Amino acid sequence: MAAKSNLTNMALCLTAVCLVCAAILGAVYSVTKAPIENAAAAEAQASIAKVLPEGGEISGELQAEAEGIDGYYVQADGEGAVVAYAVKTTAGGFGGPLTLMVGVLPDGSVYNTSVLSHSETPGLGAKCTDEKSHFREQWKGFSGELAVSKDGGDVDAITASTITSRAYTKAVAQAVSLVRAIEGGEALDSVSGASVNKEEE
């Protein structure tokens, strides 16, 4: 004889289905967690290598309470002198957050940049990922005014993508500001007014 359909039976069935689904999701998460973390770490290391000079020792990730800064790394030579910094920094682009890894030398000049993630429009703002484009090439050794030319700076914007270009430039400026604060021994980041913890180095 078939069970009568009532509210109690439906609630029990729904609960059982939810428990089974939760168990499956939990199992999938536990199996995929380590590979995802390893892939993210490998991607971070590859992006760091792209934006720093070759050689030297690279620190673990350090934290700074500064606007748009998601962490940074210090590259030192064999005697412990700082060679460069790799700064992970985020600014709001046209389609959402634009996250970069920016290599900055102790004098505040940009060594190179790399795009970690973005949500920019394909064919327009997404051109910021093209490493061979003029927009990306200009960042190698850049030490000019950190603003797009339309705003009085020295950065040539991507054609028809001023918002993305401004976001990219802001992310780079945040990284440079952090390095200048660290190198200058300042207690505060000049852009955000947030504290920089030098003791973590």
Beta strands 97-104 and 110-117: pairing type?
A: antiparallel
DSSP 127: G
pLDDT score recorded for residue 197? 39
pLDDT score recorded for residue 189? 39
pLDDT score recorded for residue 187? 42
Give residue 114's Cα distance to chain centre: 9
pLDDT score recorded for residue 200? 34
pLDDT score recorded for residue 2? 54
Tell me how many helices (H) and strands (E) the chain has: 3, 5
Give start and end residues of each alpha helix (H) in 96-161.
134-137
pLDDT in tens, the chain (201 residues): 455 667 888 888 889 999 999 999 888 888 888 887 777 777 778 889 899 998 889 999 999 888 899 999 999 998 889 999 999 999 999 999 999 999 999 999 999 999 999 989 898 989 999 999 999 999 999 999 999 999 999 999 999 999 999 999 999 999 999 999 999 865 433 333 333 333 333
pLDDT score recorded for residue 45? 80
Q: Smallest Cα–Cα separation from 81: which of 187, 185, 183, 192?
A: 183
Residue 99 near residue 82 (C-beta atoms within 8 A)? no
pTM, two decimals, is 0.75
Residue 152 near residue 166 (C-beta atoms within 8 A)? no
